[in-house]
Amino acid sequence: MRALDGIKVLDLSRTLAGPYSSMLLGDMGADIIKVEQPGTGDESRRFTPPSWNGESCYYLSSNRNKRSITIDLKTDEGREIIYKLAKESDVLIENFRTGALDKLGLGYEQIKEINPRLIYCSISGFGRTGPEKNRAGYDLLLQGYGGLMSITGEQGRTPVKAGMSIVDLTTGMFAAYGILTALIARDKTERGQFIDVSLLDGQISLLNHMATGYFATDNPAGRMGSAHPTLVPYQAFSSKDKDVILAVANNGLWEKCCHAMGWGDLLEDSRFLTNEDRVSNRSILVPMISERLSMLESKEIFERLDDVGVPCGPIHTIDQVVNHPHVKAREMILEVEHPIVNNLKMPGFPVKLSETPASLKKYPPLLGEHTDEILVELEFSAEQIEELKSKRVIGEFEGNTQCLS
């Protein structure tokens, strides 16, 4: 049994934030029906390079445990299919521009008339209210607009983004969190509700202590590379052979660190007694530590600090981390059987439930792979399905040949 068995999700979203959200729900057992445009599908199917046997890695990474149906939402017949699906669904997820689905008759107020118990999750760049509600939003744009790029990178250098799509992915997590909360609320109220999730709101939430620190001091944080504004030493350093992380987060760890590394002079130095002292004298202490660590092999540093429980470690590349024995022991790399991609691998389930664990039931679907199956479940006859195909309301499944013109 999985926790969300029996929950049906109608997923009209595409690209990353929405699909990632629905994938998280699918991993926990929800039946995800992914609605795509006939012939083209989710645009992330064309986000290459890289690709794997012609399949976009971008698409593959966020669409497992789903079924794909192709429907032209601009047709009356297509919208009727959506209405039938919505009537039987618990959740609808969409990330269209503000007002776009309302014009098609698929907005929350219209869908609520069909199914008052439906939870309608709307994901956008800037939210469904406010003066910027009509602006398009992408991860990079919101990393800049939301303040993340102002605190990422090194002082005096060109702004840089986070290495992965952190705004999209965390927005997907927030959406899943909102959906699960609304499902619990529905058990109490018997009513669904509208969920407004935006990339901007999620990014503002992630500012967390950085924003609170600004309110307290009227001094916005800036770029500090790998260093921490509140903790020292807490950053990357260069050893004799490779870069390493040293994370001394409190005074007790500082004492252990100094004893293990033979830095008695630093431990007794009045400039570095407390973390507040070390932050105030960062420009003096960090170069001293850098010089000392640069003369040692990383292995020796790790052995000394690990023995006394001081957090430290390497800076892994992606190939190193996904092949690490501990990562494999945590079952964080899934091997997925796929009709096109041999030996498909992707990150696994980050949440381990003891009684209702996540599981892999379906590979990322081919475009329109389940169109007929889903329509049969809605009691469409074979003749009706063929007629819808002839009118191009739904797409013809091409088997292992994806039509992405």
* Full strand arrangement of the beta sheet holding 91-94: 66-70, 31-36, 8-11, 91-94, 119-124, 194-198
Number of H helices, E strands in the chain: 17, 13
Catalytic status, residue 319: no
Token output for 201: 């709101």
Contact 118, 89 (CB under 8 A): yes
Token output for 11: 């997923």
Contact 263, 278 (CB under 8 A): no
Catalytic residue among 90, 168, 201, 372: 168
Residue type (1 letter), 170: T
CA–centroid distance for 205 within its chain: 15
DSSP three-state, residue 26: helix
Contact 204, 174 (CB under 8 A): no
**Whose CA is closest to 289, among 321, 318, 266?**
266
Token output for 153: 């990178």
Q: Which residues are catalytic?
A: 168
